[in-house]
Chain A
Amino acid sequence: MVGQYDENLLSDMLPLYYSKYFPVKIFCRWLSCGNSPYPLCNRELSFTLADDVYLRYISISDQKELQTQFQKKCPHKLDIGAVYFAKPSIARHDSVVLARELVFDIDLTDYDEVRTCCKEAKVCEKCWKFMVVACEIIDISLKADFGFQHVLWVFSGRRGIHCWISDYEARILDTPGRGAIADYLCLIMGGENQSKKVHLGNDNLHSSIRRALDVIDIYFEDILNEQEFIGSSDRLKAFLKLIPDDTLRNQVEKRLEKLPESSLERWKNFVAVYDSFSRENGYAMRKMKYLVEEIKIQYCYPRLDINVTKGFNHLLKSPFSIHPKTGKVSIVFKAQNAKNFKLDEVPTIHSLLDDSTAESVEHNNNMKSAVKHFQEFVFSLEKAEAMRRKTDASKNL
């Protein structure tokens, strides 16, 4: 449990974690595969040591060297960077970035505007549902729309999830390409000074948005009930700001104020008022043809940190690194299992190493299945890489 975790013990526990639990071998195979055709040592790694000492431009040439580095430096956190034209430990930032997995970072702090159960670094089972929705929507879009096959999902260790796409096309994608995918997936725009952050226009809804809404609909009532988005007068006020038309807003306000503070009840009434309003006011509706959808999206659609995706050489926390603040392992999970993901079932360095803890057995098993899933991922990636090289070679003949 998080309660028992003590950050000060980390330096004592990590050497054992790295030698016994961290899947060094398969990890190096994953990186090598992602480096192809450049050698493993061209990849930048970064270590965060005790007291936040930050070491960048570390490079390793094989599994053995990584193990030695782990034991010698004992990094509290491990990050992965890009593949450079030369060995980054020598060339540093003068070297050119050649490749990098396409990555996504989704963090619950970006939901602070909508989530009501927790704030900032806190996270609970209720707000985790946002991550489930995000994971399912992004995963299906990456696979169905962009045709990517090697999509790896990783728990960030505290309050979010990361996604690594290892397909060759994704790895060599340039910055504009990454930016375009990020923008394609990003529907929520605007800062502190804009209340309504989703604008779908009045044309047909794009197929990918329809599909995302289908996913949201599975979870929407659940989340609405738990988050109580419109359950108090303050929240109702914030909700009303999302309605652009004065007349409709007044109608909705009058109707909802009188109702008991159940968000679900209020939501249903809002939709009813909206429906009857739209039948009577064809002209005013042009501006808000998709208002219901827009609000659902503002509440539930994935909020990406798109700068992480756009930046070619942004560092991102490695799978199976320990989160220094929680002690949790950044485990790998399958997108279709996201909905069964339980925060307290995530192995921690403590529960893995200390077999007297209550969760020890369960967590050890969970760690094993996460590693197993990672292995399967790497195997299928290696297979695809081999195929690609073969076709490339025959093309060049």
Chain B
Amino acid sequence: MDFNIKRKSTKIVVTGSMVESYPHDLQMYKIPPIEHVTLQEFETLALERVTLLRSLATATTLKGLRAFSEEWKEYILSDLRNQGLKYYARLCEITRCGTTDADLQARRKDHIAHFILRLAYCRNEELRRWFIARELELFKMRFMTMSGEAIDVFFNLNNLSYTNISDEDKTSIITYLRESTPYQNIDNMKFYKVKFFDVLDLVKSRKVFLKDGFAYIPHKDFVSVLSAQFRKHLRQSLAVACQHLGEVEQDERLVCLLKGLHQSYSGNDYSNTKAMVPIESLDSLSIKSFPLCMRQLHEQLRLSHHLKHGGRLQYGLFLKGIGVTLEDSLRFWREEFTKIMDLEKFEKQYSYNVRYNYGKEGSKRNYSPFSCLRIINETVGPGDCHGCPYRHCDVNNLKNRLSGYGIDQQAVHEIIDITKKGHFQVACSKYFDIIHNLDIGLGINHPNQYFEESQKLSKGEIKVDVKREKVNVKIENVEDLEIDDFIE
């Protein structure tokens, strides 16, 4: 990073003592830091926080660990220690309200780094969403490790007070509480009444009893109330930060750092590609170089000459990302769709969509192709065939599809096993290896990255030793599949 660290800002001593500023490990980050930091510290803190957030993301998506489970937390803590971020490990392991110097220093860094990243991540909706999701995971993880005593202090510090519902009220709805609250021992718990929009995560997953717009939650679900507040506050703050970016970026020393921060980890967003891919080659590319999610969409489109909205969006943006021009894209979709509808209907209802993907309609934003994270979390409804096949396909369906592509049974089983454990991206990487006859275990986090890696291989830009014997292609199996489907 070309970042001139020789020019230092002047240092001014913190107002108020550290103990007053940082009484608790967990913060709501309501007040921005007012002390001066050196550029060097600014950069270090920013990068360290990105590492922390990246560790959270890796644990959930790449490692496929269930968020907030023991293994998940274990992975993050050990990763933080390996990366030399002991102070974050300390803050995450047991959240408390000690006052040693190490405690205070850790909290100070946590505080400043959070605010630096706000400046880096307020730039667009995609970044904001990623940042909020990670910060929220961090907040929740830390809240969950708090002792009862630390929780009380935290509530006091943040002026949170709630009274539980009366015993009569509780008795009148006890059957429903037992049905709808996913805990044992409901009878001995105190319940609190909050508005349903304070606990959206519980509403979303149907883990709370709702009545007349109120949610009835036990004490341990307060983490939902707080994280909802945290999320809301952070979202607003990012919007505010975005408006003030202009002032911050008058200092050109900061511009590069802030702009490059997320990309230093996430890589390209593939919205502006230089490559050119003719649509005539899509059929062969879909076999050689498309990840399964895109190959599936391509085949579905060729087969039924139609894709529903989610599929058009996911596949259309991917095509843009690999280098299909707008004109080619229009021609490609038109040729397929007009097999089942007249040209007029296509032009009226669908060509807008295609141009929209290229930023030529509506809000005229140049949309980025979807990343794996986005695709895995897509809502896939009846009639849809987008999403991540490892996540959104029945095992039998996936098995048949893979065997249908001539992948040998053992390899199919390996992929299925990984899929069943919920490691969708690992399964995708396995598929990559099998298709390319390799064993490199690439970390896949973007369909367009998959495509680029594959293209590099086929153009010989990367030399890898082919480790396996040639895969036996068994096409004759295809006929048996439908029967298999029922025996399984």
A173 and B394: CB pair below 8 A?
Answer: no
Interface hub of A111, A113, A207 (most chain B Cβ within 10 A): A207
B197 and A207: CB pair below 8 A?
Answer: no
B392 interface neighbour in A147, A169, A180, A191, Cβ under 8 Å: A191
B180 and A204: CB pair below 8 A?
Answer: yes
Nearest to A200 among chain B residues (CB) is B206
Kindly provide the distance from the CB of B287 to the nearest chain A CB, expressed in whole angstroms: 19
Residue B384 at the A interface, CB < 8 A?
Answer: yes
Kindly provide the distance from the CB of A372 to the nearest chain B CB, expressed in whole angstroms: 28
B197 and A173: CB pair below 8 A?
Answer: yes
B383 and A207: CB pair below 8 A?
Answer: no
Q: Which residues of B contact A392 (CB under 8 A)?
A: none
CA of A240 to CA of B387, assembled, Å: 25
Kindly provide the distance from the CB of B243 to the nearest chain A CB, expressed in whole angstroms: 12
With A180-B204, A183-B204: A192-B385 Cβ-Cβ less than 8 Å? yes
A206 and B394: CB pair below 8 A?
Answer: no
With A148-B213, A173-B197, A176-B200: A189-B380 Cβ-Cβ less than 8 Å? yes
Could you tell me which residues of chain A, from 340 to 369, have a CB within 8 Å of some CB in chain B? Answer: none
Residue A184 at the B interface, CB < 8 A?
Answer: yes
A303 and B382: CB pair below 8 A?
Answer: yes
Interface hub of A110, A177, A204, A206 (most chain B Cβ within 10 A): A206
0 or 1 for each of A51-94: is its CB under 8 Å from B? (1 = yes): 01000000000000000000000000000000000000000010
CA of A195 to CA of B488, assembled, Å: 14
Q: Which residues of B contact A237 (CB under 8 A)?
A: 486
0 or 1 for each of B182-208: is its CB under 8 Å from A? (1 = yes): 100000000000001100110111100
Interface hub of B201, B209, B210, B381 (most chain A Cβ within 10 A): B381
Interface hub of A176, A209, A303 (most chain B Cβ within 10 A): A176
B392 and A193: CB pair below 8 A?
Answer: yes
CA of A383 to CA of B213, assembled, Å: 20
A306 interface neighbour in B212, B379, B393, B394, Cβ under 8 Å: B379
Nearest to B352 among chain A residues (CB) is A54
A207 interface neighbour in B180, B204, B296, B348, Cβ under 8 Å: B180
Nearest to A167 among chain B residues (CB) is B213
B212 and A144: CB pair below 8 A?
Answer: yes
A169 and B200: CB pair below 8 A?
Answer: no
A52 interface neighbour in B296, B348, B379, B485, Cβ under 8 Å: B348
Residue A190 at the B interface, CB < 8 A?
Answer: yes
Residue B397 at the A interface, CB < 8 A?
Answer: yes
A203 and B387: CB pair below 8 A?
Answer: no
A207 and B386: CB pair below 8 A?
Answer: no
Residue B87 at the A interface, CB < 8 A?
Answer: no
With A184-B203, A184-B206: A147-B214 Cβ-Cβ less than 8 Å? yes
Could you tell me which residues of chain A, from 170 to 225, have a CB within 8 Å of some CB in chain B? Answer: 173, 176-177, 179-181, 183-184, 188-197, 203-210
CA of A237 to CA of B178, assembled, Å: 38
With A204-B179, A303-B382: A179-B206 Cβ-Cβ less than 8 Å? no
B386 and A191: CB pair below 8 A?
Answer: yes
CA of A237 to CA of B387, assembled, Å: 26
B213 and A194: CB pair below 8 A?
Answer: no
Could you tell me which residues of chain A, from 34 to 52, have a CB within 8 Å of some CB in chain B? Answer: 52
Kindly provide the distance from the CB of B196 to the nearest chain A CB, expressed in whole angstroms: 6
Residue B389 at the A interface, CB < 8 A?
Answer: yes
Q: Which residues of A contact B197 (CB under 8 A)?
A: 169, 173, 177, 180
Q: Which residues of B contact A181 (CB under 8 A)?
A: 203
A191 and B179: CB pair below 8 A?
Answer: no
CA of A9 to CA of B386, assembled, Å: 40
B389 and A189: CB pair below 8 A?
Answer: no
Residue A146 at the B interface, CB < 8 A?
Answer: yes
Could you tell me which residues of chain A, from 212 to 249, have a CB within 8 Å of some CB in chain B? Answer: 237, 240-241, 246
Residue A145 at the B interface, CB < 8 A?
Answer: yes
Nearest to B345 among chain A residues (CB) is A52
A183 and B380: CB pair below 8 A?
Answer: no
Nearest to B348 among chain A residues (CB) is A52
B393 and A194: CB pair below 8 A?
Answer: yes
CA of A237 to CA of B483, assembled, Å: 11
CA of A109 to CA of B201, assembled, Å: 30
CA of A190 to CA of B384, assembled, Å: 8
B210 and A145: CB pair below 8 A?
Answer: yes
Kindly provide the distance from the CB of B213 to the nearest chain A CB, expressed in whole angstroms: 3
CA of A232 to CA of B201, assembled, Å: 42
CA of A2 to CA of B398, assembled, Å: 44
Could you tell me which residues of chain B, from 207 to 256, have a CB within 8 Å of some CB in chain A? Answer: 209-214, 231
With A173-B197, A189-B381, A194-B393: A206-B206 Cβ-Cβ less than 8 Å? yes
Kindly provide the distance from the CB of A91 to the nearest chain B CB, expressed in whole angstroms: 13
Kindly provide the distance from the CB of A72 to the nearest chain B CB, expressed in whole angstroms: 23
Q: Which residues of B contact A184 (CB under 8 A)?
A: 203-204, 206, 210
A144 and B392: CB pair below 8 A?
Answer: no
Q: Which residues of B contact A110 (CB under 8 A)?
A: 381-383
Residue B265 at the A interface, CB < 8 A?
Answer: no
Interface hub of B205, B231, B398 (most chain A Cβ within 10 A): B205
Could you tell me which residues of chain A, from 132 to 186, have a CB within 8 Å of some CB in chain B? Answer: 144-148, 169, 173, 176-177, 179-181, 183-184
Residue A112 at the B interface, CB < 8 A?
Answer: yes
CA of A145 to CA of B216, assembled, Å: 11
Kindly provide the distance from the CB of B299 to the nearest chain A CB, expressed in whole angstroms: 12
Complex A-B, nearest 9 residue pairs according to Cβ-Cβ distance, in ascending order: A147-B213, A191-B384, A147-B212, A180-B200, A191-B380, A145-B210, A193-B393, A180-B204, A183-B204
Task: Give me 19 other A-B pairs in contact (C-beta within 8 A), A144-B212, A147-B211, A193-B397 excluded.
Answer: A93-B362, A110-B381, A112-B382, A147-B214, A176-B231, A183-B204, A184-B204, A191-B381, A191-B383, A191-B385, A191-B392, A192-B300, A193-B398, A194-B392, A205-B179, A207-B176, A208-B210, A237-B486, A240-B486
A residues lining the B interface (CB < 8 Å): 52, 93, 109-113, 144-148, 169, 173, 176-177, 179-181, 183-184, 188-197, 203-210, 237, 240-241, 246, 303, 305-307
A-B residue pairs in contact (CB < 8 Å), sample of 23: A93-B363, A112-B382, A113-B382, A144-B211, A145-B196, A145-B212, A146-B196, A148-B213, A176-B231, A177-B197, A179-B204, A183-B205, A184-B210, A191-B381, A191-B383, A193-B389, A193-B392, A193-B394, A193-B398, A194-B393, A206-B206, A208-B210, A241-B485
